[in-house]
Structure 1
Amino acid sequence: MVFTSNLDGVSNPIKEITKISHQNDSLFLIDGAQAIGHQKIDVRDLDCDFFAFSGHKMLGPSGMGAVYIKKKSAEKLRPLIVGGGTVEDSTYESHKLLEAPLKFEAGLQDYAGIIGFGEAVKYLKNVGFENIKSQEQKLNRIISEGFKDLPQIKIIGPANSELRSGIINFYHQKMASHEISLLLDKTYNIMTRSGRHCVHSWYNSRNINDSVRASVYFYNTESEAEYFVESIRKIIKLA
């Protein structure tokens, strides 16, 4: 289950859901890619069986990720791929695997990616996750407040901006989202993402074509948030 939604930035009550899962004798895997770069997370406190996350979502290299596996779960799992570095011994008829995590890491690893990922983690820890969360909420509040007098702009997610992390996902009732995103890029040098954000079924069920998603982070400033709002004001005048 996803910890924090990439659609609207809302975090699920993941610890409570993990508990319910275990009460029903189920293993529980958390997709933490959207959460781990934005808040302090303790996998032991969550008591999850698996926690997967991506490097590029936390200032690390793309194509790099990691997964936490609870020890008793790791002992039961067999690797998808075996080969160099995963096997303690073998014959023509059988093989003996090394203990986790080695049995899951066949062949040469992306060592440059691992080093870069590690440095990104150190950097974020130095910045401080409470500082990151506070700055995201401040910027989201500025943008959300700035949209309040734009009735044709609809924000996806709860009205309380503090529940949406650093995500401001919105659509215009008349203007195409791709057009808005392109104008933000070409005219105002603001990068956003337009589309259905990997949740087509959600959009189809609500008869919403698509949306523009802006993602703020701790390196963004209040003046940039205000500039974003003013840019949207100018763009929608073209509708």
Structure 2
Amino acid sequence: MAMGFMFWTAAACPCFIGQEWDPATNRLRGALPFNDPCQCTSVELGGVNVIRPQRPFRASYFDAPLQLPEIRMRLNCSVYVCSDEEPLGMQDGRIKDEQITASSYYQNKLNHGPAKARLDTQAYASAWCYDRHRETDPDHPWIQVEFNSEVYVTGLVTQARGGDIHNTNHQRVTRYRVTHSRDGQSWDHVTGADSMSEEFTGNSIDQSYDHQVTARFGTVLRTRFLRILPTDWKGHCSMRFEVLGCQNLTV
């Protein structure tokens, strides 16, 4: 006979986490049976429920270490609050050229390379422009920043390619997703309230070349790598951007 373990929680106090079968994925996953897991002030280890659950309330399923900050980040709970949000260094050069990489850039020309993705870059080609003819990058371009150490990121500011004389088709990224990583190997998507990968609005065709669009994430990311994955663009996949975040936190 299979043994099951009871989980219980109390509002705004310790929550008991266990494992049980997730009906959506049909596998054993972490389970936090609490209507609003973001209210948990701590997480304690429960047991394993091998019986398929039937309950009148929703359980939150996830794959994460048994540490409250990690769990709350996976559930889009705000773990940290930036006390003083600021640009993290794309525009002013604190982020060095070698810290900015991309899946490809147009014909391997440095004047179209990832270092040209800095906000307000004006000199030709006045943006990072991906190479759509590269076999390694036909449909899934990306550009990323590697910080010198872990930072706290709150959002992005994006621009289209600048108005240089070669930008006759108003190149810009109109939609994009974001992933982040602490080690450059394991990546997580920035997700929305539904826990699905969120797609952000970039720059539209009716805006000026230098118009800035700010997108803020639903939670503060503690990360070392930040990767932008354009999903739609006009003219050509070209963009400039700044990363927003902070150094000082309130918890």
Instruction: Mark yes or no: TM-score above 0.5.
Output: no
Higher helix share: 1
- Structure 1 or 2: larger strand share? 2
TM-score by length of 1: 0.24
Taking CA–CA contacts closer than 8 Å with sequence separation of 6 or more, which of the two structures ends up with the larger relative contact order?
2
